[in-house]
Amino acid sequence: MLALAVFPALVLAIFIYRKDKFQKEPLGLLAKAFFFGCLSAVPAVFLERFFSSLYIGFGSLLPDFFGGIYNGYVVAGNSEELCKLILLSLAVWRSRHFDEYFDGIVYAAFVSLGFASLENVLYVFAQDTFASALMTGSVRAVLSVPGHFLFGVAMGYFFALAKFQPEHRKRNLLLAYLVPMLLHGTFDALLMIPEAMGEDGSWLSGILFPLFLFFDFRMWKICMKKLRHLQELSEQQAYKTGGNYSDDEYGNGTSGTNYGNYGNNGNGGDAFSGFNWDV
């Protein structure tokens, strides 16, 4: 059950690691980002409880379906993505290894996968029977964990723009919170609305679940497009400077390492060769 809970996150972590075509990120810092993602679940729980308690006061005055919207966007999306963004910033913003655009997606994905792994473990081991644990782990492996990964890609895209385009830093930091929050909220709300309506919402599942699958498919396409865009920006970053980044041009924390050797930095060979343990 532990393997079932953690394995999806491991697969996606390897996937995003291999997509880093230039300078591979140090394993120590990736582990730190993953661990900080796990830590972000702690304040998220308290925030979720706080916002859930607020709803008790006025929820009875609203239609039942609104509970699913509120839980999706305010309780889950808002609390979890805010905490992940804060812990992502604490983990890597000032690191000298955060020195190219694509790094934003890599680190944000690892933070999100850390959060998703801990959440997955808790959900799986909270089940009463082996069969229900197996079902929960299997469903979350194909829906929830990839969902968190995509929220991380969206967050990392704007997080990287905020890092390397200081003239638009405040706007992009805000978008690094708002965009994944809205994606997360929509993802959850489409599943939570029928649940909030109880038996009256059973008919709605037949409408909202296909809509959920369509939304999930579109989110994959959009996030992969954003991923490729940052790959292109990282490539321009490398060739523009001949592979040597400077603090003056690209912001704080750059390492001055040569990134021009495309073939030796992720375009081939073993995905785990040449790990750098330096944090």
Residue 256 falls inside a structural domain: no
Q: How many CB atoms lie within 10 A of CB 236?
A: 11
Residue 44 falls inside a structural domain: yes
Average pLDDT over residues 104-123: 96
pLDDT of residue 23: 83
Residue 277 falls inside a structural domain: no
CB-based contact 51:80 (threshold 8 Å): no
Give how many domains the chain has, as a whole number: 1
pLDDT of residue 200: 72
Residue 253 falls inside a structural domain: no
CB-based contact 71:230 (threshold 8 Å): no
* Cα distances (angstroms) measured from residue 15 to each of 19, 42, 43, 103, 153: 7, 27, 28, 14, 12
pLDDT, averaged across the chain: 86
Q: In this structure, what token pair is assigned to residue 61?
A: 């005055």
Which of 225, 156, 216, 210 has the alpha carbon at shortest distance from 186?
216
Residue 264 falls inside a structural domain: no
Q: Which domain holds residue 186?
A: 2-243
Residue 139 falls inside a structural domain: yes
Residue 166 falls inside a structural domain: yes
Residue 254 falls inside a structural domain: no
Report the alpha-carbon distance of residue 74 to residue 146 in Å, rounded. Answer: 21
Task: Point out the least confidently predicted range of 37-46, 147-156, 178-187, 205-214.
Answer: 205-214
pLDDT of residue 241: 63
Report the alpha-carbon distance of residue 182 to residue 180 in Å, rounded. Answer: 5
pLDDT of residue 57: 76
Say yes or no to pLDDT of 255 above 90. Answer: no
